[in-house]
Amino acid sequence: MEKAALSFTAGAVLFQIQAGLPPTGVIPLLLVAMLPFLLRPSFGPALLSAGAAAGFGWAWLHAALTLSTALPGALEGEDVVIEGTIHSVPQVDGRRTRFEFASELLQHGSDRHPAPGIVRLNWYTERPDLRVGERWRLTVRLKRPRGFMNPGGFDYESWLFRHRIRATGYVRSGVDNRRLAAAAGYPVQSLRQSLGEAIDARLSAMPRAPLVKALAIGDRQGITGEQWEVLRRTGTTHLMAISGLHVGMVAALVFFLMRRLWGFWERGALALAAPRAAAVAAIAVAGCYAALAGFSVPTQRALVMVTVVTVAIALRRQVAARHVLATALLLVLLIDPLAVLDVGFWLSFGAVAAILYGMGGRPGARGIWWQWGRVQVVVALVLAPMLILFFQEAALLAPAANLLAVPLVGMVVVPLTLIGALLLGLELDISVWLLKGAAWLLEWLWIVLAWMAEALPAGWGVSAPPVWTLAAAAVGLLWLIAPRGWPARWIGAIWLLPMLLVKPEPPAVGELRLAVLDVGQGLSAVVETADRVLVYDTGPRFSASFDAGSAVVVPYLRARGIRRIDMLVIGHADSDHAGGLSAVLEAFPVDRLVSSAPSDLGVPSVPCRESEPWNWGSIGFEFLHPPGTEEGSRNDRSCVLRVSAPGGRLLLPGDIEAVSEEALVVRYGEVLNADLLVVPHHGSLTSSTVPFVEVVRPEFAVFSVGYANRHGFPRPEVAERYRAVGSRLVETAEGGALLFELREGFTPRLERYRESARRYWHAPP
């Protein structure tokens, strides 16, 4: 079983690293790989080959079916009418309601098109009370799945694909939006929505109510950014959802209680033995609890393991723990081979595998607390490489925090929450007291977690590690936590060092690296020299809980191994340029903050007009604008930064418009000539005047714009001006992060991250 599960997983993983769907000519090769197994099933290599081929083919089938439903490109940004059913619990966030919609009809004018399947919609104004399972006819604007593409950043397109969401968009206001039928079907989702609303109503005054809601129905929307930060720093984020750990603990509790109590019912005991009755009850409760979480990967794994273990106990069969884990792994991937795209898949199975291996051969003679403490250390060690790979950070406090939090939450808070939620559905008053008791316990736990996050060193961050360092770390961990009797386990720590110490190569002395990040309709650029870093703008803020600083800029800098910013420039204080400032300042020490209008930022900064030219090695920096005056619009007072390196020149003009461009041309003339120009104001008609373009005459004209943005940037007339002077036009909307290297004696080298990091689910450039 273990060989079959591991080989099947390897095949599914191998498929996910493909840049495009394989040609159909690969199918005969898969059949050939399976043939030896059909001829000789007992031959080990044949099983491995067949398992890998089966995993690859099964993932291919699911991927092809998912990609077969797509929004026609011609309908992007157009008003279309869709009919279908609300597919998920609507999430209310301020003035926005977000929900998934299972579309069955798509109409544009009088033309009908194949429906794209699941679409993710936002409804901003005049939104009614939406219930999961309702049928609606809506006028919407849609676009194909699209997300930011940056090194170290979250792959939103992968997340959408993993959840089979084939378009995103928003509901247009109008009289054509109407409910076609009341809620029907979707019993689990309807229950989750009702329970969530009831918990909100009864615990509204308690600060930890969102945590109770997360534990009851898996809805983590109400958890604030500050709360997530505490959970992240203490390594306890897994606790604030319906995780596999909670499912397992609840199932175990139900099993032992039912086994103990079943014998008191004489008729029941005669009809069914206590172990079998307990197994049925444990599986049923585990299944219901997993359903409340939407059958996430960790809960699927836990449910399969609970089922296998309890059935084995009921049948008085001994089943090795590794067989149980392998069975769960294989069944989860048979249900959905795309589960390997989930971070939770790796963390969940990795944690269980770590416990089975790291605690093997270690009897509990030293007491339960020693054993429990060792479990936390083992899990933290094994998950650290995964956390570094996915997030470039691992929590040092995780073992200590989980030593207290896991038993309290899993064995006390979760049962109180579940029983309270159940009785809440029956409208019993005691339910409120149980839920409030859970919230009260979480409040006391939170005091401890917040203190740990604030007072103690929370974690370390490293750059995105090369693959070979992760392989070395895996060897080191197997050695380090090996079963008792393994010689010189300390040697394993040496194998961990490459993962912690190997960093991306900085530019060589005299070379320059520019990253124009993909932040949507806004701007953020990072300039690296051999030993210094300058960040120009921090991208837009999209909502109270989401900005480009935390989602794009900070992950990029961490992936590059950058730990401090020598200079942070905010060209001007508009939200699309300064929206991520707070997140960047919280994440990194900044030696010097410069802006065009310090009074607009709300934090101390130096006016860029007062900054003298300076050099970092052989690379010169100079602010050309604004002059020492407050005249002109905020856009026209943008900081204009000129960077001169042996390999070329770079011009970052922010959002300056025609007036400032004319002043720059008059004052500097040909000095403005640059190899790389981040085009002013994203390609607006108010900027990039003909004289300015002809003087700068860039080799690369870089447009930092959002995909299908409502402004139509870059405007065609502006793009044509740059083409007329021989510039190469590149856009972040099309290429993702645009990564340039300037080396003396060479033309600027460009890497489009959307191309270099492409996977088959990504939108093509």
* Per-residue model confidence as pLDDT tens digits over 745-755: 889 999 999 99
- pLDDT for the residue numbered 461: 62
What is the SS3 assignment for 359? coil
- The encoded tokens of residue 307 equal 């089922």
Nearest to 375 by CA among 395, 351, 394: 351
CA distances from 583 to 147, 402, 452, 541, 653 (A): 20, 27, 21, 10, 23
Query: What pLDDT does residue 150 have?
Result: 96
Q: Residue 363 pLDDT > 60, yes or no? A: no
Contact 645, 635 (CB under 8 A): no
Predicted confidence (pLDDT) at residue 536 exceeds the cutoff of 80: yes
Contact (Cβ atoms closer than 8 angstroms) between residue 683 and residue 713: yes
Q: Which two three-digit tokens encode residue 158?
A: 């992968």
CA atoms within 13 A on the CB side of 683: 28
Q: Which residue, chain included where needed, has tokens 């792994």?
A: 329
What pLDDT is attached to residue 537? 97
How far apart (Å, rounded) are the C-alpha atoms in residues 417 and 425? 12
| 148 token code pair | 């930011």
Model confidence at 699, pLDDT cuts 50, 70, 90, reads very high
DSSP classification of residue 713? S
Angstrom CA distances, 402 to 230, 231, 365, 395, 443, stand at 13, 11, 22, 11, 16
Distance CA 332, CA 160 (A): 19
Instruction: Find residue 90's DSSP bridge partners.
Output: none
Query: Who's near 265: CB < 8 A, 6+ residues apart?
Result: none
Angle between helices 274-292 and 244-262 (to 10 degrees): 150
Render pLDDT for 58-95 as a digit per residue (tens, 0 to 9): 999 999 999 998 899 889 989 999 999 999 999 887 78
* Rounded average pLDDT over 243-249: 75
Q: Where are the beta strands (DSSP E) in 144-280?
A: 165-171, 178-181
Please give the mean pLDDT across all residues of the chain. 87
- Contact indicator for 471, 579 with CB cutoff of 8 Å: no
* Angstrom distance (rounded) from CA 548 to CA 554: 9
pTM for this prediction = 0.89
Gap between the terminal Cα atoms of the chain: 42
CA-CA distance, 470 to 553, in Å (whole number)?
24
Most confident of 205-219, 415-429, 727-741: 727-741
* Residue 11 near residue 47 (C-beta atoms within 8 A): no
Residue 48 binned pLDDT confidence (cut-offs 50, 70, 90): confident
pLDDT tens for each residue of 488-516: 777 888 888 888 888 888 999 999 999 99
Mean pLDDT of 369-380: 75
Pairing verdict, β 728-731 and 619-625: unpaired
- Mean of pLDDT values over 425-435: 82
161 confidence band (pLDDT: 50, 70, 90): very high
**Mean pLDDT value of segment 327-353:** 86
Integer Cα distance of 345 and 351 in angstroms: 10
> What residue spans of 131-273 are helical by DSSP H?
156-162, 187-202, 209-217, 225-234, 244-262, 266-271
Tokens of 175: 């009289």
Cα within 13 Å of Cα(92), Cβ side: 13
Amino acid, res. 655 = D
Q: Which two tokens stand for residue 267?
A: 């008729």
